[in-house]
Amino acid sequence: MERLRIGFASPSVALVMVLTCFAFVAMIPQTSSVRYIVGANMGWTNNVNYTIWAQDKHFYTEDWLFFVYDRNQMNVLEVNQTDYENCNSDHPLHNWTTGAGRDVVPLNVSRPFYFISGKGYCYGGMKLAVTVEKTPPPPAAALPATKNGASSSSSQFMSFGGQIVIPAVLAIVINYVAATWDSFIRLC
């Protein structure tokens, strides 16, 4: 019976490479952007208080606003603060309306954003103001302190959010699995 060769010296090499790839992917820092559906289940429509909808949310760069509305009646216009306060849609900064009634606005700059719906709907409350902040850095790993209040070098080595410990453990496990696999293959 012939064995199928994939181009690796042995199946354990392939296994080690696959597990190493998984280890590297696990160490990639994760970003957490959020896609907000404006107005939640009500969408972008009249008779919704968007100030109340936005008040308990924190908007960060890399987040998205998703406007869902009746494309035949409404639109999404980005305006300045004065036009927002006066419901003036004559000179929008940007018209986000694509015609599908499903418009996505990337919040990629930290600043205030002002959105209104033209065609008179702004006067009925279809306006949204959000302040976008820079994405906060990930929380730092807390270092355990020794009795005198300073952190020890061994605790510093072990507490980088698993970035040193996890790869070391994975390397040991991968080598053990590879050696076991080689032994198994040789017995067959």
Domain annotation for the chain: domains and CATH numbers = 11-29+140-187 (no CATH), 35-133 (2.60.40.420)
* pLDDT number for residue 155: 46
Query: Is 163 within 8 Å of 23 (Cβ atoms)?
Result: no
- Return the pLDDT at 151: 47
- The whole-model pTM stands at 0.59
For 78, residues 6+ apart whose C-beta sits below 8 A from its C-beta are 92, 93, 94, 95, 96, 105, 113, 114, 115
Using DSSP, state whether 96 is helix, strand or coil: coil
Sign, CA torsion 9/15/21/27: negative
Give pLDDT < 70 ranges for the chain.
Answer: 1-31, 140-188
Q: What percent of the chain has pLDDT over 90?
A: 48
Query: 58 pairs with which residues across the strands?
Result: none
Q: pLDDT per residue over 76-129, tens digit each?
A: 999 999 999 999 999 999 999 998 999 999 999 999 999 999 988 999 899 999
